[in-house]
Amino acid sequence: MKKRLIQLALILGLMTLTCVAAHAAESGATSGLQKFSIETNYRDFVELVPLDANGRTVVADTTDDTMYPGAAKVGVTYKNPQKDSEYLLIVLVDGDDTTPTVDNMAYIDQKTAGTSDLDFTIYTKKPDATKNSVKYSVYMSSSSDASTGNGVTGYVKVGSFEYYSTGLNVKLGDVDDDGDIMVADAVLVLRAVVEDIVFDERQTAAGDVDKDGDIMVADAVYILRYVVEDITSFDNLNAQ
Ligand SMILES: [Ca+2]
Ligand SMILES: [Ca+2]
């Protein structure tokens, strides 16, 4: 059954290669960064600045000044570091557990301080469609001697922020947002896989039915399996 569906999916994919590229639909979703916080002891020498994907500073939302719509990266400035000291920056997802692991590590960078402020850029990842926000905690450690200046010693949390996403309200598998999960939805996924069309944020959230973060042939196959009632939901796909 599965093999035949994969063949079907591949055939559909080849057929659609000749289709004219469609314009991506307007998305009502917004995402960005919010709730920036610096731990009390580090407010004098750590700054977190919301940046867009191109590295430009993002201004706060006019109605909620804790939200920075469109922000996707974070600039970290560490003021007056100790020259020649090593500074390690570690960013953990849902940082209640302070120990870095393969699962919670979001970003890591290390720099040697010169005579000017140290700048890092944190690259974040959008929460998947089933979550409204993801919290990131920023940790630092350094080889500097705190007794002689601005130095984090040991391994300390210096701040946190959240990546939020609102208004997606997607139905998994319903890529064209017509309310039904049909072969047409799988075809759209295949067209995106072969880069015949580019998905917007909502389409990406709806099409990534196995929630691995990528739009792949496997997603189209799962949608086709759902259409032919081989599976009844997109939950626990790895177990099926
Ligand atoms: Ca649909
Ligand atoms: Ca996927």
Q: Distance from the CA of 18 to the center of ligand 2, in angstroms?
A: 23
Evaluate whether residue 190 is within a structural domain: yes
51 and 151 part of one domain: yes
Q: Distance from the CA of 90 to the center of ligand 1, in angstroms?
A: 41
Q: Distance from the CA of 192 to the center of ligand 1, in angstroms?
A: 15
Q: Distance from the CA of 126 to the center of ligand 1, in angstroms?
A: 24
Which ligand does the CA of 214 lie closest to?
Answer: 2
Q: Distance from the CA of 121 to the center of ligand 2, in angstroms?
A: 28
Q: Distance from the CA of 37 to the center of ligand 1, in angstroms?
A: 41
- Segment 100-121, tens digit of pLDDT: 888 888 899 999 999 999 999 9
51 and 138 part of one domain: yes
pTM: 0.59
Q: Please identify, among 122, 137, 166, the residue that sits at the C-terminal boundary of a domain.
A: 166
Q: Distance from the CA of 99 to the center of ligand 2, in angstroms?
A: 28
**What per-residue confidence (pLDDT) applies to 139?**
93
**CA-to-CA distance for 193 and 207, rounded, in angstroms?**
11
Which ligand does the CA of 218 lie closest to?
Answer: 2
150 and 63 part of one domain: yes
Evaluate whether residue 212 is within a structural domain: yes
β-bridge pairing 86-93 and 155-166? unpaired
Find the domain containing 72 and state its range.
30-166
Look up residue 68 and give its two tokens: 């920075």
**What per-residue confidence (pLDDT) applies to 8?**
59
Evaluate whether residue 238 is within a structural domain: no
Look up residue 210 and give its two tokens: 């196995």
Low-confidence ranges of the chain (pLDDT < 50): 16-28
Evaluate whether residue 237 is within a structural domain: no
Q: Distance from the CA of 173 to the center of ligand 1, in angstroms?
A: 7
Q: Distance from the CA of 206 to the center of ligand 1, in angstroms?
A: 10
CATH number at residue 122: 2.60.40
Q: Distance from the CA of 162 to the center of ligand 2, in angstroms?
A: 24
35 and 149 part of one domain: yes
Q: Distance from the CA of 209 to the center of ligand 2, in angstroms?
A: 6
Residues having C-beta closer than 5 Å to ion ligand 1:
174, 176, 178, 180, 185
**What per-residue confidence (pLDDT) applies to 19?**
36
CATH number at residue 203: 1.10.1330.10
Q: Distance from the CA of 208 to the center of ligand 2, in angstroms?
A: 4
Number of domains forming the structure of the chain: 2
207 and 120 part of one domain: no
56 and 155 part of one domain: yes
**What per-residue confidence (pLDDT) applies to 184?**
97
Which ligand does the CA of 227 lie closest to?
Answer: 1
**What per-residue confidence (pLDDT) applies to 17?**
44
Given phi > 0 = left and psi -120 to 50 = alpha, else beta, which region is 195? Answer: left
Q: Please identify, among 166, 183, 209, the residue that sits at the C-terminal boundary of a domain.
A: 166
Q: Distance from the CA of 189 to the center of ligand 2, in angstroms?
A: 10
17 and 35 part of one domain: no
Look up residue 204 and give its two tokens: 């990406």
Torsion angle of C-alpha atoms 193, 198, 204, 209, degrees rounded to 10: -20
Q: Please identify, among 135, 166, 197, the residue that sits at the C-terminal boundary of a domain.
A: 166
55 and 154 part of one domain: yes
Check: CB of residue 230 under 8 Å from CB of residue 5: yes
Which ligand does the CA of 220 lie closest to?
Answer: 2
